[in-house]
Structure 1
Amino acid sequence: MGKLFILCAFLFHFLSSANAQQMATDVITPSMKYGKPSEEELKMDTYTPDTAATAVVLYSKTTARYDLIHNDFRLVYTYETKIKVLKSEGTSYADIIIPYYSNEKSSSIKENITQLDASAYNLENGKIVRTKMKRDLVFEERFNKSYMQIKFSIPAVHEGTVFEYKYQLSSDLYYRINHWEAQRSIPVLHTQYDITIPEYFQFNLDMRGSNFLNPKDQSESISYTIQYQGGQTEQLICTGRHLSFVGKQLPALRPDKYTWCADDYLSGVGFELRGISFPGSLYKSFTNTWESIDKMLLEDEDFGSLLKMRNPYRDEMASLSLDKLTDRQDKIAAIYTFLKKKISWNGQYGLYGNEVRKAVKNGTGSNAEINFVLMSMLRDAQIPCYPAVMSRKNLGILPLSHPSIQKLNTFVVGIADTDSTFVFLDGSVTDGFMNTLPPVLMVDRARLLSKADGGNWIDLSNLGKNQIRSAVNAQIHADGRITGTRQTGYTGQHAANFRKNYHAAKDSAEFITKLETEENIKVKKFSTTGVDAFSPTVRENLEFEKQANVNDELIYINPMVFMHVSKCPFTQAERQLPLEMPYAEQIILVTNLTIPEGYAVDELPKPMNAYTEDKQGFCRYLVHQNGNQLVFTYSFSSNKLIYLINEYKGVKAFWELIAEKNNEILVLKKI
C-alpha cells in the first residue's frame, strides 16, 4: 500500500511538472535587445495565459539615476518598451502620450524629453521589415498649466506587428521620484526597474499590488564631479542605494465599470521623500502630515484666501428673503438654486479658485470656483460652511500613510445643518440635492478644513437615502393584456438618475418612447413632479398597457410587471479587482394583480429570502393570494460598497439568484 502511494505521488508530481513545463513553453522568452526583435516574437499569434489579450508587453525596462549637472542634481530616467500586437484592437497601444513637467509661468524647474526613438517590425515574405518613425510624426502640446505632452503614433502597426520605443526624461524634480507601474491593462511578459539613489536623499518605499516583483536592495559607490569657479574640480564619493525590481508574466489589470480606479491596484513601486542631508548642512525633513497639508492649503492664496472672499451677489441675495425661511435647509436650497442660475458648471473639477472672478463674469466655471462663491453666499447668510478636500474616486484613493498635496484634486462644501450635523453640496450638482453628490465625489476619505479646528477626516461614501418605492395596480385580461397604473417615488441618487435621463431626452415624448422600449409597455398617461426642482425626490405616475403571452387556455405573466433586474450584471468567472458599488440603495416594489374572471392560478412563484454572506445585501420576494387578487412584494437592499476579490463569487451567486427570481413566471389557467 505504501509503495502504491509513493508511485501515485511520483506520477502526480511528474504530470504536474510536465504540465508546468508545457505551460512555460507556451510563453516565449522575449529578446531583451532594443532593435532586435526575434522571429519567434513576430510569429507569435496568441498569449496562452490570456487568450483575450489584444496585445502583450514583451518587455519594459526603466532605469533612473541621479546626475550632478552644474553642481545641481538631476534625475534622469530611461524608458524602453516593446509590445506585440495580437489583435487589431491592440493597435491602439501604438498611440503614445508622454507627459512631462513644464510650468508655463516658470522655466527654472522643468523636465525634458530626449533621445526619442520608435520603430515597427513586420514579417514580409519571411523577412523582418523595420519601419522607423520619422520625427515629423511627433507632436508636442500643452496639456495644462503645469504639464506638456509629446504624442505620436508609430506607423505600420497592425495585427501581428512588434513595435518598440524608447526615450530619456531629464527632470529637475530630483526630490520627487516618479512612481513605477509594473502592471498594465495588457499582460506583461517581462518588466524591470533599476534606480540608484545617493545617500543624501532618504525615500520611503511603497510596494503595492499582489504580484511578486523580486526586489533587491544593495549599496554601491557613486562618484560625482564638483566644479568650482576658476575651473577647479573635485571628486565627490558617496554611497548609493541601488534598488531593482523584476516582474515576469504579470496578468493584465483591465479597468471595468465596477472599479473606480484600477490604478489603485496595479503592482508597482512608489517613493516618498523623507528627508535630505547634504555634506556640511543640517538634515532637512520633507515628511508631510495631513495636518501640515491642511495648513498649506489654508494659507494658499488660491485656496485659503478665497475662504474669505466677498460675496459677488450680496446685493442681489436680498431678493431671496432668507429671513422669512425658518428651516436652514430651505435657506441652503434657496441660495444654491439662485447661484446655479448665475454660474453653470463647465464639466471641470478643480481644487483651486484662481479664476473664480472669471467664472463669475462669464457665468460658467469649475466645481471649485462655484464652491468658493457658494461659501461666500452661505457666510453672508450666517450659515457655517467648510471645504472638504479629496481625491475623486476615478483618480485614486487618498493615502493615509503617505500624505501628499498632489493627491488632492477637488473639494465639496460641508454646510452646518445643525450645531452638530452637516450636509454636503458641490458646484457640479445639477440633478441631485444636499447629500446627493455625484458618486465620483462620494469618497470614504476627505479632509474637512476650518481655520479654527484644522482638518478632520470624514466619510462621504454613504450620504443620504437612495431609494425607489413603486406601487403597481393592474388588471389581467383574458386576452393577455395587462392594464394598470404605476406610482413611483425616486429618492437620492435614484432621483438624480431619473432627472439626468429625463433632461438628456429631447423632450418628454422621447423620454416616454425610451421607457416604452425598455419596459416593453405602452404608456397611456404620464406625469412627473419634482423633475425640475432642487429637491430630494422625484415622483412619477403612469398608466400603462402590456401584453402577456397567451397559449390556448394558459396565460404566462411575469408578476413583477416591472423588473428590478433582468440578468446578473456580473459575468466574469473570477475577478482581479475588488467590486465597488457606486452607492447603497433600497428598492421596494409592490404589485397588485387582479386575475380575470374564469381563470385560476396554475403555477405561482414561491417566496424567497436571499442574503449575501455578510448579510449586507438581501432580497425578499413575498407572494399573497386572496381570491382573485395577487400581491407580490419585492424588497432589495444593498448596503456594502466594496467587495474584496475573495467575496466576488458569493456576490455573483446572490445576483444570479435575484435575476432568476425577477424572471419567474406566473401561469394562469382557464377553468
Structure 2
Amino acid sequence: MEELKMTTYAPDTAATAVVLYAKNNARYDLLNNDFRLVYTYEIKIKVLKSEGTSYADIIIPYYSKEKAGGIMKENITQLDASAYNLEDGKIVRTKMKRDLVFEERLNKNYMQIKFSIPAVREGTVFEYKYQLNSDFYYSINHWEAQKSIPVIHTQYDITIPEYFLFNLDMRGTHSLNMKDQSESLSYTLHYQNGQVEQLLCSGRHLSFTGKQLPALRPDKYVWCADDYMSGVGFELRGINFPGSLYKSFTNTWETIDKMLLEDEDFGSLLKMRNPYRDEMAALALDKLTDRQDKIAAIYTFLKKKMSWNGQYGLYGSEMRKAIKNGTGSNADINFVLMSILRDAQIPCYPAVMSRKTLGILPLSHPSIQKLNTFVVGIADTDSTFVFLDGSVTNGYMNTLPPVLMVDRARLLSKADGGNWIDLSQLGKNQIRSSVNAQIHPDGRITGTRQTGYTGQHAANFRRNYHAAKDSAEFISKLETEENIKVKTFSTTDVNAFSSIVKERLEFEKQANVNDNLIYINPMVFLHVSKCPFTQAERQLPLEMPYAEQIIQVTNLTIPEGYTVDELPAPLNAFTEDKQGFCRYLVHQNGNQLIITYSFSSNKLIYPTSEYKLVKSFWELIAEKNNEMLVLKKI
C-alpha cells in the first residue's frame, strides 16, 4: 500500500520511475548429464510520472542461432508480469496475459521476447519475473546493478561449483557490498543403464548488494553511459573436473580474430570477387602515381554505385541483394570496397570494433558479441594506414564519423589474427580563418572572411551545407547564427571527396553606437559564445568527439577620426595538463588592429575529478570571446 501511495523519490525528484527492488539469481544445474546455467530475474518498479510508463515495455534478448540444430542455445521460461493500482482505496492487480508476449528474431544469432505490461500508468507499481536457461555454462552473464532510473535495492546471488574457476571484475563508481562463502552442492547423474549417482562437491556462493543507487542517465558528451555502470563481470579462467586435466578457458582476442576470419559472413567475404571489375578500366588507375589518389578514385566510383542505408553492421549476409539494390550497411559497402582495392593491388584489412554508442571493447573479457561493425584499413605506405568506411558521405580518408573513432579496434592484418590500433586521433581537424574588415563611423563593419575547414570540420561543413534545401537556405542560416548580412558567398570542394572545404564570403555587420562611442567585438566571428558545460557537478566523465584546432586572424581598420578607448586584455590559458590552450592577442599598428586567436584541444576524455577545471577553462574562453573593443570619436 505504501508503495502505491508513493508520489516522488526524495533523493531524485526528477525520476520518472524507481526500481523498488531487483533480485537476480544464477545457479548451475545438470540437464542430460551436462551443466547449464539457470538465471532467475525479478524486478519491481514504481511509476512516478507518466513518462515512466515506458519502463513497462520490456525486451529480453537471448541466444538462439538460426538453423542451429543441436548447437548450444538459450530459452526463456516462467515469464510472469503484473501491475498494481490503487482504485477507491483498494489494490487492484492486473495480470499480463500470454497473448501479449511476442517472440521475434533479432539477427542470425539472437531472438528476443517483447511485451508491454497492461494497466500501467502514473502511480502504478508493476513487477515481472522470468527464468533464462543457458547452455553456456562457461560464460556467466555480467550483472548490472545500476539502471537508467534510481534503484532502492538490488541483489545478485550466484553459486558456482568448484569445477569452474572465474575471475571477478567489479566496476563502476558506486560501491557494492559483496559476500563470498563456500557451501555444499549436490547434483544427480543419470546413466544410460538406469543407474543414478549423486555428485557431491563444494561451491562458491557470491552475493552482491547495492542500495540507493542513483540513476545512470545518458548525458551530453558521453557516448555510452553503460561504460560507467556499477556491476560485476565474470571471466572463466579454467575448468577442473575430477579425473581430468585442468583446462584453461581464458578467451583471447586472438581467438575472436580467428572466429571472425573463419565466419562465412565475414572472413569469406574478405575474398569476394570485385563485382565491378569490368568497369574499373574507366578509372585509369595506372595513370595515378599517388596511392591516396587511387584510393580516392576508387571510393568516389564506389559511392556512385552503392549508397549507405544508415545502418552499421559487422556481417554481410546479403551481399548480392545489397549490390543489386545499390544500397547497404557500412559493412556491405566495406566488403565491396576491399574487393576493389585488392583488384587494384592495394593491401587492405578490416578493423573491427564496437561503435562508441554501444560501449568500449573490454580488454580483459574478449567477446565476439561486443563487436558490431568495422572500418577499412588501407595501406598507404609499407608502415602506415589510412582508414575509410562505407558510411562516409561528407568526410575523407582518416575522417571517419566520430562514432567510429574508437581508441580500441582490432586490425585483422594477419592471416591468423590482428593487433590493437587507436583510431581516436585520426587526421587533422582544423578551422583556419582570415577576416579583413573596415569599421565605419555609423557602426557598420564590412569585409571578407576566408576559411579553410579540414578533417571533421570539413565534414561538418559539408553535412550542414547538404542538409539545406539550397545555398540560399544555408546562407540564411549562416546570417542568423553570425548576426551578419552576406553580400557574396562561394565554396570550393563542398561536393568533392576531399580533406578540405574552402569558403569565402563578403559580409556586413552592425556594431553598437552610443554617442561618440562604438562598441564592437573585435573577433567579429566568435569561436564560442557561451560555455557548453552548464552542470555544477557531473556524474560521468566528459568525452570529446575529436581533437581540434581553431585559428582566426582578424584585421580591422579603425575609421578616421576615432581612437581606441578600450582594448581586450591578452589571454594565454592552458588546461592543467596542457592538452588544451587558448591564446588571444590584440596588436595595434596605427589605425589597424590585428586580433590573433588560437584554440587547441587534444584530450578526449576528462574524468569527473577534472570537470570543474575544464568548465572554468571554457568559461574563461567564452568570456574572452565576448569581450568588447571600444572606439571613441576624437
TM bracket, shorter-chain basis: over 0.9
Deviation at 1:248, TM superposition (A): 0.8
Deviation at 1:191, TM superposition (A): 0.5
The aligned amino acid for 1:305 is S
Deviation at 1:528, TM superposition (A): 0.8
Deviation at 1:420, TM superposition (A): 1.9
* TM-score calculated relative to the size of structure 1: 0.90
Provide the C-alpha distance between the structure 2 equivalents of 1:575 and 1:506, rounded to a whole number of angstroms. Answer: 39
Instruction: Give the alignment partner of residue 77 of structure 1, picking from 35, 39, 46.
Output: 39
Deviation at 1:122, TM superposition (A): 3.2
1:167-246 aligned within 5 A: 167-229=130-192, 231-246=194-209
Instruction: Give the alignment partner of residue 535 of structure 1, picking from 479, 490, 498.
Output: 498
Instruction: Give the alignment partner of residue 418 of structure 1, picking from 358, 365, 381.
Output: 381
Deviations 1:426-457 (A, max 9, x none): 11111111111111111112222223584222
Deviations 1:401-443 (A, max 9, x none): 2222222222211111112221111111111111111111111
Instruction: Give the alignment partner of residue 48 of structure 2, picking from 80, 86, 90.
Output: 86
Deviation at 1:281, TM superposition (A): 4.2
Counterparts in 2 of 1:604 and 1:88: CA distance versus 1, 3 Å? farther
Provide the C-alpha distance between the structure 2 equivalents of 1:165 and 1:668, rounded to a whole number of angstroms. Answer: 70
Conserved? CA contact 1:56–1:86, under 8 Å: yes
Conserved? CA contact 2:62–2:110, under 8 Å: yes
Counterparts in 2 of 1:453 and 1:103: CA distance versus 1, 3 Å? closer
Pair 1:465-2:428 in alignment = yes
Instruction: Give the alignment partner of residue 634 of structure 1, picking from 597, 602, 608.
Output: 597
Instruction: Give the alignment partner of residue 352 of structure 1, picking from 315, 324, 330.
Output: 315
Pair 1:563-2:526 in alignment = yes
**Any idea what SS the aligned residue of 2:341 has?**
helix
Conserved? CA contact 1:80–1:167, under 8 Å: yes
Deviation at 1:655, TM superposition (A): 0.4
Provide the C-alpha distance between the structure 1 equivalents of 2:89 and 2:14, rounded to a whole number of angstroms. Answer: 27
1:266-285 aligned within 5 A: 266-285=229-248
Instruction: After superposing the two structures, state which structure 1 stretch, 295-304 or 245-254, moved more.
Output: 295-304
1:89-488 aligned within 5 A: 89-106=51-68, 108=70, 109-229=72-192, 231-451=194-414, 454-488=417-451
Q: Paired residue for 1:5? A: none
Deviations 1:1-33 (A, max 9, x none): xxxxxxxxxxxxxxxxxxxxxxxxxxxxxxxxx
**Any idea what SS the aligned residue of 2:336 has?**
helix
Provide the C-alpha distance between the structure 1 equivalents of 2:114 and 2:313, rounded to a whole number of angstroms. Answer: 25
Q: Paired residue for 1:29? A: none
The aligned amino acid for 1:578 is P
Instruction: After superposing the two structures, state which structure 1 stretch, 289-298 or 180-189, moved more.
Output: 289-298
Counterparts in 2 of 1:143 and 1:291: CA distance versus 1, 3 Å? closer
Deviation at 1:659, TM superposition (A): 0.8
Pair 1:62-2:17 in alignment = no
Deviation at 1:328, TM superposition (A): 0.9
Counterparts in 2 of 1:524 and 1:287: CA distance versus 1, 3 Å? same
Conserved? CA contact 2:258–2:416, under 8 Å: no
Instruction: Kindly report the root-mean-square deviation, in angstroms, between the aligned alpha carbons of the 2 structures.
Output: 2.0
Conserved? CA contact 1:60–1:192, under 8 Å: yes
Structure 1 segments unaligned to the other structure (5+ residues): 1-37
1:648-667 aligned within 5 A: 648-667=611-630
Provide the C-alpha distance between the structure 2 equivalents of 1:228 and 1:116, rounded to a whole number of angstroms. Answer: 32
Conserved? CA contact 2:450–2:504, under 8 Å: yes
**Any idea what SS the aligned residue of 1:315 has?**
helix
Deviation at 1:107, TM superposition (A): 5.1
Instruction: Give the alignment partner of residue 13 of structure 2, picking from 48, 51, 56.
Output: 51
Structure 2 segments unaligned to the other structure (5+ residues): none
The aligned amino acid for 2:435 is V
Provide the C-alpha distance between the structure 1 equivalents of 2:51 and 2:525, rounded to a whole number of angstroms. Answer: 38
The aligned amino acid for 1:563 is L
Pair 1:587-2:550 in alignment = yes
**Any idea what SS the aligned residue of 2:80 has?**
strand
Provide the C-alpha distance between the structure 1 equivalents of 2:205 and 2:139, rounded to a whole number of angstroms. Answer: 17
**Any idea what SS the aligned residue of 1:113 has?**
strand
Q: Paired residue for 1:554? A: 517
**Any idea what SS the aligned residue of 2:53 has?**
helix
Instruction: Give the alignment partner of residue 618 of structure 1, picking from 570, 577, 581.
Output: 581
Instruction: After superposing the two structures, state which structure 1 stretch, 399-408 or 246-255, moved more.
Output: 399-408
The aligned amino acid for 2:51 is E
Deviation at 1:200, TM superposition (A): 2.7
**Any idea what SS the aligned residue of 1:141 has?**
strand
Find runs of 4+ consecutive structure 1 residues off by over 6 angstroms.
none
Instruction: After superposing the two structures, state which structure 1 stretch, 206-215 or 472-481, moved more.
Output: 472-481
Instruction: After superposing the two structures, state which structure 1 stretch, 229-238 or 315-324, moved more.
Output: 229-238
Q: Paired residue for 1:4? A: none
Provide the C-alpha distance between the structure 1 equivalents of 2:289 and 2:585, rounded to a whole number of angstroms. Answer: 43
Provide the C-alpha distance between the structure 2 equivalents of 1:222 and 1:600, rounded to a whole number of angstroms. Answer: 91
The aligned amino acid for 1:271 is F
The aligned amino acid for 1:194 is D
Instruction: After superposing the two structures, state which structure 1 stretch, 273-282 or 360-369, moved more.
Output: 273-282
* Matched residue count: 633
Conserved? CA contact 1:298–1:451, under 8 Å: no
Provide the C-alpha distance between the structure 2 equivalents of 1:223 and 1:486, rounded to a whole number of angstroms. Answer: 80
* TM-score calculated relative to the size of structure 2: 0.95
Counterparts in 2 of 1:299 and 1:157: CA distance versus 1, 3 Å? closer
Deviation at 1:47, TM superposition (A): 2.5
Provide the C-alpha distance between the structure 1 equivalents of 2:617 and 2:11, rounded to a whole number of angstroms. Answer: 29
The aligned amino acid for 2:553 is V
Counterparts in 2 of 1:432 and 1:134: CA distance versus 1, 3 Å? same
Q: Paired residue for 1:3? A: none
